[in-house]
Amino acid sequence: MFVVSDELALVFCTPLAMRKLTGAPALNAGLERAILRRRGEHQGNAISNIGGWQSLPDLLDWPEPEVKQFAAELDRTVHQIWSFAPILAPGAPPPAPVKYQAYGWANVNEKGDYNSLHVHPGTHLSVVYYVATGRPDPDTPTNGRLELRDPRPAAGFSRPPGLNFGQAALIRPQAGLMVAFPAWVEHWVHPFQGHGQRISIAINVTVDGAAT
């Protein structure tokens, strides 16, 4: 519960972290080279992806320096979204650093490719990072967008004016954008329409507790 005032509180809040990385162009150039090289070497996985290519879930172990730089940015995002919890308890001490485990994979989508509706069971956070967005067709408003479903199943029965209960959150891909949300939130990726390749990285994070 997030206390707004003595007479108003927000309940069932769902945190969402979104930030644009500084120095993203150089980082993304190296990540794109590493991802496309492995795409040429490995058939890849087929899990939530309908079409497209998905790497093995060992991306954070790749030796490229850009992967190490990306891992440092991931660490910052994990601590950013995890620090949301104490905000809900007024007077709570500043959040302690957390220990966590993470693994990730790359996605390459071309025209017509998408990811079906899913969650990430057994983990705490899902993180998405956009390496490249291709050249989307401007006549397709939902082109390649990440959609997060409202996790409250009955919220859609009421559509009060001015409030977005039951409405999905649509996030437009931007190169250099990192997004983090609870792994139990249903999400999917709309089909990519356009030219080039929509390249992203997905990470599963499991938090073990406060760092010692």
* pLDDT number for residue 89: 52
* pLDDT number for residue 161: 78
User: In which residue ranges of the chain is pLDDT below 50?
Assistant: 86-88
* pLDDT number for residue 80: 87
What is the three-class DSSP state of 202?
A: strand
> How buried is 192 (Cβ within 10 angstroms: 0-12 exposed, 13-18 middle, 19+ buried)?
buried
- Alpha-carbon distance of 138 to 210, in angstroms, equals 45
Contact assessment for residue 155 and residue 166, using Cβ atoms and an 8 Å cutoff: yes
The CA radius of gyration of the chain, in Å to the nearest whole number, is: 18
* pLDDT number for residue 93: 61
Report the topology of domain 15-149+166-210.
Answer: Jelly Rolls (2.60.120)
* pLDDT number for residue 85: 53
* pLDDT number for residue 88: 47
Contact assessment for residue 111 and residue 193, using Cβ atoms and an 8 Å cutoff: yes
**pTM of the predicted structure, to 2 decimals:** 0.89
